[in-house]
Amino acid sequence: MNVEITKLSNGLTVVTDPMPQLESAFVGVWVNAGGRNEVRADMGVAHMLEHMAFKGTERRSARVIAEEIEAVGGFLNAYTSREQTAFHARVLKADVPLALDILSDILIRPTFEQKELERERQVVLQEIGQARDTPDDLVFDHLQAAVYPDQPLGWPILGEEATVSAFSQDQLRGFMNTNYRAGSMVLVASGAVAHREIVALATDLFGDLKPGTAPAAPLAHYRGGDKRETGDLEQAHITFAFPGVSGTDPDYYAMQVYATALGGGMSSRLFQEARERRGLCYSIYAFAHSYNDGGLIGIYTGTGEGEAGEIPPVVAGEMALLAENATDREIARAKAQLRSGLLMGLERPSARAESIATQLYAYGRVLPVAEVTGLLEAVDTAAVRRVGARVMATASPSLAAIGPIGGLETHETFARRFGSATRRAAE
């Protein structure tokens, strides 16, 4: 990687990451604000704003935006997460200037017309409906609510019917004016790009971005809890979460290795025990999510009504065992998986750009690949056991579940499997 960074006078960070062998480029703007920057009445406004940016600017109608990018075979899209909102385009080399022009237009001059807002509100309400029909997504909203009750981090990114139905132009403009500040935004271009050219284009096109930085979101407080929704589904969709680490925590890589050894592949503890040995599920995996100021380690599985009761003891049992007897061999394997995932990601401009934006957000700098692989390599079995023991020691594990979940043990029973005193393995 040969990353170059320039800060424009308004504070916008411009990063290029050339991949000379490519004919296409991925360019995106990341705004360091998302769902957790909302107040309650604004729940979902970051996502609504992401939608409305495409619905017309002072220079282009919604239809013209779509037609211009697609006329050159480009793909324009966006997403909203809890800490960032990203707007990005994938185009052939010659069309990078057009892509940046459109991105700057929708980020600086959106009109948020009332008529378009009324229509797009209906689209987002349909999107909420679609999310409710996707139980393996919906259960993660429940998990987030269980972990962070009454905090923006615990709210659904799409918002709720009530808030989405009430959004006004002023709310959109207010959120944008507060958070879309050049000092809290980064433009990343990976692929067939050259730094000088991108900086020149960015200076020209993004000079009108308002300077300043977005205010910090309220701090995250892991509380832990339980949220269940009995429903008419084939499967019980069950998730667990425990306190994790932030992206800059010294144990960040140890936690990633722990999650991988626990449930990151076919050879992981949970896959082997729950799927291969017991046949309880088709999908089971562990994940480690990091925020600016904390994080989660968690597990998802989908299982049958008759099998659901077996899941909590199996999960808690495997977590306890891994903390006690993680082997050098399986930790080497988990590290190899993470390392090759990282190296393979370097072959895709979208993955590179996103990783650069995430690192700039978390660390304020782009980590050289060798530094990341070095940090990963430095994780040893003792470190994994240590973070595993720290996870097991929590007094407040979280559980969220949807579907035919009558057979699932109470939160109290589950919680007793954790905490320093009364750890239990599965029978």
> How far is CA 249 from each of CA 160, 222, 295, 299, rounded to the nearest angstrom?
33, 16, 10, 21
- Looking at the DSSP assignment, which residues form a beta bridge with residue 294? 291
* Closest alpha carbon to 174 in 33, 69, 28: 33
Residues from 185 through 214 that contact a second copy (CB under 8 A): none
Q: Which is nearer to a second copy, 39 or 94 (CB)?
A: 94
- Looking at the DSSP assignment, which residues form a beta bridge with residue 390? none
- Binding span for a second copy by CB under 8 A among 147-155, 231-239, 244-252, 383-391: 231-239
424 binds a second copy (CB under 8 A): no
398 binds a second copy (CB under 8 A): no
65, 102 Cβ separation under 8 angstroms? yes
Catalytic residue list contains 197: no
Query: Which of the following is catalytic: 50, 83, 116, 120?
Result: 50
* Closest alpha carbon to 274 in 247, 311, 232, 320: 311
CB atoms within 10 A of CB 377: 12
Least distance to a second copy, CB of residue 127, Å: 4
What is the SS3 assignment for 346-410? Answer: CCCHHHHHHHHHHHHHHHCCCCCHHHHHHHHHCCCHHHHHHHHHHHHCCCCCEEEEEECCCCCCC
In the list 58, 133, 412, 427, the residue contacting a second copy (rule: CB under 8 A) is 133
403 binds a second copy (CB under 8 A): yes
Residues from 60 through 119 that contact a second copy (CB under 8 A): 62-63, 65-67, 69-76, 90-92, 118-119
Query: Which tokens in the block code for residue 107?
Result: 């980020």
Label the pairing between strands 226-230 and 398-403.
Answer: parallel
Least distance to a second copy, CB of residue 416, Å: 28
In the list 281, 316, 353, 367, the residue contacting a second copy (rule: CB under 8 A) is 281
Q: How many positions of this chain bind a second copy (CB under 8 A)?
A: 77
162 binds a second copy (CB under 8 A): no
In the list 13, 16, 24, 355, the residue contacting a second copy (rule: CB under 8 A) is 24
Residues from 316 through 375 that contact a second copy (CB under 8 A): 329, 332-333, 336-341, 343-344, 347-349
**Residues comprising the chain, all counted:** 427
The per-residue DSSP string of 258-281 comes to HHHHHHSSTTSHHIIIIIIIT--E
173 binds a second copy (CB under 8 A): no
Least distance to a second copy, CB of residue 28, Å: 15
Site string for a second copy, 261-280 (x = CB under 8 A): ----xxx---xx--xxxxxx
215 binds a second copy (CB under 8 A): no
Q: Which residues have CB under 8 Å from 311's CB, separation 6+?
A: 236, 238, 274, 280, 281, 301, 303, 408
Q: Which is nearer to a second copy, 59 or 221 (CB)?
A: 59
Least distance to a second copy, CB of residue 208, Å: 25
H helix or E strand, kind and range, residue 117: helix 114-132
16 binds a second copy (CB under 8 A): no
Enzyme catalytic residues? 50
